[in-house]
């Protein structure tokens, strides 16, 4: 059934022409649907499957606005093979342009929010700002040695976006991680070299020292300023 969901979801996305809320109009009441045979039931089951999956997909749709009635009409026309208001290529071109515009706006918002946050955060007591733009705050100062860039370190950490959303945590996984210090993001490489073993710091990492203009995966957007709570457990 998965292949049906994927195929029809793609068809729906390729057929949508309008992504803006519309004024609701009064619709004539239709008689209740009755499933009288196997084909009816199969057809309805496919609709439930596709509709449920598509609803979940649309929760992630940039911008979030679309007209269900128009979407369903475009889907129905395309599924029947009738002539749509937009051709397949036109629909794709429209979506590409729309998504690019939304993503550009979100990117600029993320960049601006990061710059504003760091400008205000540097004024907070205990926050140190380095020439690179990295900021840190000492939560607990250890008394062990400091790692070098070429060392392998063991840490516990949690990572957060500026909105407070946690995107990663070794604590949640129940075990620390080890890695060469010169094979992680620049903010970590620089920040952890300041920490004696046994220390716990909060690192405020601007996007250019984190995942840059591209972001990382589905959880870290482009131009994201990141906050890490890092405890240096040892040097291996």
Copy the structure tokens of residue 222.
């482009």
Copy the structure tokens of residue 112.
């601006």
Q: Active site includes 167?
A: yes
Catalytic residue among 61, 98, 168, 235: 168
Catalytic residue among 205, 211, 220, 223: 211
Catalytic residue among 75, 136, 157, 201: 157
Residues β-bridged to residue 152: 180
Catalytic residue among 117, 160, 167, 235: 167
CB 153 within 8 A of CB 161: no
Q: Active site includes 168?
A: yes
CB 233 within 8 A of CB 197: yes
Catalytic residue among 75, 136, 207, 228: 228
> Which one, of 151, 175, 173, 150, lies nearest residue 234 by Cα?
151
> Which one, of 227, 225, 219, lies nearest residue 113 by Cα?
225
Residues, the chain, total?
Answer: 236
> Which one, of 89, 179, 201, 88, lies nearest residue 135 by Cα?
201
Q: Active site includes 54?
A: no
Q: Active site includes 75?
A: no
Catalytic residue among 46, 138, 185, 235: 185
Decide: residue 92, CB within 10 A, 0-12 exposed, 13-18 middle, 19+ buried: middle
136 CB-side CA count, 13 A: 24
Query: Annotated catalytic sites, by residue?
Result: 157, 167-168, 185, 211, 228
């Amino acid at each position: 059934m998965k292949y049906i969901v994927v195929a029809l979801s793609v068809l729906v996305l390729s057929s949508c022409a309008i992504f803006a809320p519309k004024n609701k109009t009064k619709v004539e009441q239709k008689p209740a649907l009755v499933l009288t045979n196997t084909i009816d039931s199969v057809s309805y089951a496919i609709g439930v499957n596709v509709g449920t999956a598509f609803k979940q997909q649309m929760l992630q749709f940039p911008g979030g606005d679309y007209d269900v009635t128009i979407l369903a009409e475009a889907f129905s026309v395309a599924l029947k093979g009738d002539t749509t208001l937009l051709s397949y290529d036109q629909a794709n071109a429209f979506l590409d342009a729309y998504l690019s515009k939304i993503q550009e706006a979100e990117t600029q918002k993320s960049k601006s929010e990061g710059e504003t946050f760091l400008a205000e955060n540097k004024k907070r007591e205990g926050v140190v700002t380095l020439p690179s733009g990295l900021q840190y705050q000492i939560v607990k100062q250890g008394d062990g040695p400091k790692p070098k860039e070429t060392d392998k370190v063991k840490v516990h950490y949690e990572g957060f976006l500026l909105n407070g959303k946690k995107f990663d945590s070794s604590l949640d996984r129940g075990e620390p991680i080890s890695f060469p210090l010169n094979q992680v993001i620049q903010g970590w490489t620089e920040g952890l070299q300041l920490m004696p073993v046994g220390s716990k710091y909060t690192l405020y990492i601007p996007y250019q020292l984190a995942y840059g203009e591209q972001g990382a995966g589905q959880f870290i957007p482009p131009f994201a300023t990141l906050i890490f709570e890092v405890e240096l457990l040892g040097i291996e």
